[in-house]
Amino acid sequence: MKSLLCWLTLAGLSLSLAQPNVVVSIFPYFDLTRQVAGEHANVTLLLPPGVSPHTFDPTPRDVRRIAEADLVIMNGGDGIDGWLRRLFEASGSRAPILDVFAALNFRERVADLYGPEFYSQFINSHLWLDARLMAELPPLIAAALAEIDPAQADVYHANAERLSAELLALDAELQTMLAPISGAAFVPFHDAWPYFAIRYGLNLVVEIEPFPGREPTPAYLQYALGLIEKSGAKAVFSERQLNPRPAEVVAEQAGVALYVMDPVGGHPDTASYQNMMRFNASVLLAALAD
């Protein structure tokens, strides 16, 4: 009897110590989630470093991870990580989903945040590249974590409050960093950057690859080259997650420099959301400053 009571006590203790499993689609949200969760949750990233969410090919292992999750966090919206929704349905999971696009009411707010031209049937969903907007996310992450792990709710909310303040400070830092190139012509690789450009004062001229992972047609490249030459852009930009060849061709034909940006992060020099944003600002400053 004593041994049975001991076993039941230990089993109950192990259950109380079990940490929630959180599965996240892309690195920016993975990093913000682990900053809110601290040591109190197991946070797993689905998208490997160096891979674009637009070209990601999930595996059966990813389905198992979602099936075992207590919470799933995704970008949502149009076209970024729709594969996660399909994996979720295939897994049979009943875990709650924090859809960032929906949680921030982004579709309803995009025109007020960035201009009426951004409201359409298809809404660009690269919202994580605006640090000021991301300052609104930590409390939502904390609330989602608290629902599945109420014992640590106070910790999650305190971490979220601190992180939101850090992200607002980061936004101010980026504004200061990029002030010397305010209004500069910006030619990014794909359409990840419109909200970043508006928030931080850049003139987005044209994207090199209008459909991520699909090489642009010769006709489109000629169109882009015309806009680049007219704008007086000093540089064009490739991205770590996508084939740089189209950007190399454009840089050579336009006679401008080529720099590499990182919209997703997860590399040694972009190993946190904050450092990813600083990295991109530093690249832009080096490329576009007089």
Q: CATH no. for residue 48?
A: 3.40.50.1980
Q: How many residues belong to the chain?
A: 290
Number of domains in the chain: 2
On whether residue 67 sits in a domain, the answer given is yes
The CA-CA-CA angle for residues 211, 187, 273, to 5°, reads 80
The first and second tokens of residue 180, run together, are 């010397």
pLDDT score recorded for residue 18: 87
Choose the final residue of a domain: 102, 135, 168: 168
Query: Are residues 163 and 140 both part of a single domain?
Result: yes
Query: Are residues 22 and 142 both part of a single domain?
Result: yes
On whether residue 1 sits in a domain, the answer given is no
Residues with Cβ within 8 Å of 33's Cβ and at least 6 positions away in sequence, in order, are 22, 24, 41, 43, 73, 141
Query: Are residues 149 and 116 both part of a single domain?
Result: yes
pLDDT score recorded for residue 120: 79
pLDDT score recorded for residue 17: 61
Choose the final residue of a domain: 168, 203, 228: 168
Query: Are residues 23 and 139 both part of a single domain?
Result: yes
Helical spans, DSSP H, in the chain:
2-17, 27-37, 60-67, 82-91, 100-103, 106-114, 131-134, 137-148, 153-178, 194-199, 218-231, 245-254, 273-288
Contact 155, 134 (CB under 8 A): no
Query: Are residues 177 and 95 both part of a single domain?
Result: no
Contacts 24+ apart (CB under 8 A), 217-221: 221/246, 221/249, 221/250, 221/253
pLDDT score recorded for residue 212: 87
Query: Are residues 180 and 217 both part of a single domain?
Result: yes
Choose the final residue of a domain: 146, 168, 190: 168
Query: Are residues 182 and 229 both part of a single domain?
Result: yes
Query: Are residues 200 and 182 both part of a single domain?
Result: yes
Encode 20-48: b = buried (16+ Cβ within 10 Å), e = exposed.
bbbbbbbbbbbbbbbbbbeebbbbbbbbe
CA torsion through residues 124, 34, 280, 225, sign = negative
* Enclosing domain of residue 120: 18-168
First to last CA, the chain: 80
- Spans of the chain below 50 pLDDT: 4-5, 7-16
Query: Are residues 134 and 197 both part of a single domain?
Result: no
Q: Say which residue the tokens 């499993």 belong to.
A: 21
CA-to-CA dists, residue 196 to 53, 114, 126, 256, 273, angstroms: 18, 10, 9, 22, 14
The first and second tokens of residue 145, run together, are 């974590």
Query: Are residues 148 and 270 both part of a single domain?
Result: no
The first and second tokens of residue 238, run together, are 């490739």
Within 10 angstroms of residue 81's Cβ, the number of other Cβ atoms is: 26
| Residue 82 burial (10 A CB sphere; 0-12, 13-18, 19+) | middle
